[in-house]
Structure 1
Amino acid sequence: MASTSPVDQNALWNGPGGQIWVAQQAILDGLFQPMADLLVAELPDTVTQLLDIGCGTGASLLASAAARPAAHSTGLDISAPMLALARQRAEAVGLDADFIVADAQRHPLPSAHFDWIQSRLGVMFFDDTGTAFANLHRAARPGAGLRFIAWRSADENPFMTTAERAIGAELDLPPRAPGAPGQFAFADGGQVQRHLQAAGWKEVEVVAVDLPCSIVREDLPSYVGQLGPLGLALRAMPEDRATVLRDQALAAFAPFIEGDRVRVDAACWLIRARA
């Protein structure tokens, strides 16, 4: 799945993209809590060395570490500001974890070291997915387990593209290229399976899961106006114009609002494999 992208992932996640994820950490952790819970449910009792890929601000790593306190946890992410917060959160709960600012596709991880590798929405941004999966396979002990959660297609996740559909024509957004690094890079589950198998992973399963996620209704303006390519575009324009467009986008979310919550039906892949 080698591809080119108009977005410089390193610049994005070490710049405004990473900084806004830090600022919105509580909203995002609440939204994606069912995904962290799913990874914990997959976690065997016997794990001793856990690697969390694209761990961001640390939610899935912290949840797994709390469930398996005897395991040593390592978080890896390309984003220095997000990992700085993850490290602070780990220290606050007394967790002795390692955090590596690096690209999992290229970083020389220790060979045959980890017996569990996981990711919550952190594996869709590689320039070359096959190379990344091969690098992770080299870092896995024989028999090690792998669990990834990734988005299915944009069409199956209407919430995630509602604002873009509502006001995208008014903004200069980077074009979506099928298979390019980004949120929906793993939309083709069959292709993901083939890349894992080619990298040496066995017993590969790509299972469709639908997770009932939600955010507090009062957090929706921050979510729409701050996050993702659309949030970046809104923050770069004059405030009065950004407010008009954001309010226009917010109106399009009416079908997702249930009382004081905004419902997000997350159409994802749960990807299982063994080294």
Structure 2
Amino acid sequence: MTHTPAVDSSNADQLRSWDGASGAFWTERAERFDQGMAGYHDTLLRAAGIRPDSVVLDIGCGSGQVTRDAARIAREGSALGVDLSSTLLALARTLAAKDQLTNAMFVQADAQVHDFGAARFDVAVSRHGTMFFGDRQAAFANIARAIRPGGRFVQLTWQALDRNEGISTFRTIASGGRELPPPPPEAPTPFSLSDPDRVRQLLRGAGFVDVEMTGLTAPMYYGRDVDDAFHFIASHFASAFGQLDDESRVRALDALKADIADHLTDRGVLYGAAHWLIHARRA
């Protein structure tokens, strides 16, 4: 029997997406996402300060790389990964079982409303998992309740669109010359937590203190060669390319392949990226 998790109404579209087409897309490309985030992954784990006996919550865990690595560090504790995608979670469980990580667990849940229990976790982490809540204030307040006083909440989120070469380039090319509005700051998009003032206000309002934001830059990997990266990026932006007429779409795809070729290095196709490492402490 399929279990549908309880979600806040503001996250209903996210459930349909992540437990549908988006979840299927990233399940098939989970390794590619982990490769893309490799320049940030270890920094996030170090900032989390996980100890051997820590109890860790991973929000928006996807296929579970952060959860599994947290469980390895917290060998006397545990790590719980939560996500809206049942397919990503199935992969996460398979990979944890393969690695014999019995202290890594996974639950399909909306972290905005899920009852985690009070003051249960020493550390909460999130790698690209907190930008998509319909009500970020409510979500952070619920996460704060789950963290013990003095516990840490460490997130990795995108900086502004214009600081991220890859996404801004692909978005512009896929527009086919149309002028696109900037992502709305209140909407659940990858850039909803890119404004430091807004992030500090949200976290302090939810019960966190000592909010620190550190800018990180590292290239993101998109493929081993031009064709590999082209297939991945064109698939990721398929809906945008699909809005173009046939002639414009051909031109745009040709432009994409040419731009990818300009970014081919001896380490694969790389584009510049910029993130925020957000560290806060539960009051």
TM score, norm. by length of structure 2: 0.85
Please show how residues 59-208 of structure 1 align to structure 2 within 5 Å: 59-96=65-102, 97-169=104-176, 176-208=183-215
Cα distance between partner residues in 1 of 2:16 and 2:251: 28
- State the one-letter code of the partner of 1:35: Y
Of 203, 210, 225, 1:217 maps to 225
SS at match of 1:223: helix
Cα distance between partner residues in 1 of 2:10 and 2:238: 19
Partner of 2:54: 48
Q: Is the 8 A contact 2:52 2:75 kept in 1?
A: no
Cα distance between partner residues in 2 of 1:250 and 1:113: 48
Cα distance between partner residues in 2 of 1:237 and 1:20: 22
Measured after TM superposition, the shift of residue 67 of structure 1 is 3.0
Cα distance between partner residues in 2 of 1:168 and 1:44: 42
Measured after TM superposition, the shift of residue 47 of structure 1 is 4.5
Unpaired stretches in structure 2, ≥5 consecutive residues = 1-8
CA deviations on 1:190-209 (whole Å, 9 max, x unpaired) are: 10111100111111111211
* Deviant stretches of 4+, over 6 Å: 4-7, 235-244
Q: Is the 8 A contact 2:154 2:278 kept in 1?
A: yes
Partner of 1:18: 23
- State the one-letter code of the partner of 1:217: D
- State the one-letter code of the partner of 1:145: R
Q: Is the 8 A contact 2:112 2:133 kept in 1?
A: yes
Which stretch has the larger CA shift, 211-220 or 189-198?
211-220
Measured after TM superposition, the shift of residue 247 of structure 1 is 3.4
SS at match of 1:253: helix
SS at match of 1:178: coil
- State the one-letter code of the partner of 1:66: R
TM score, norm. by length of structure 1: 0.88
% identical equivalent positions:
32
Cα distance between partner residues in 2 of 1:231 and 1:182: 17
SS at match of 2:273: strand
Measured after TM superposition, the shift of residue 266 of structure 1 is 2.1
Unpaired stretches in structure 1, ≥5 consecutive residues = none
SS at match of 1:107: coil
- State the one-letter code of the partner of 1:109: F
Q: CA RMSD in A?
A: 2.8
- State the one-letter code of the partner of 2:232: Y
Cα distance between partner residues in 2 of 1:7 and 1:251: 38
SS at match of 1:252: helix
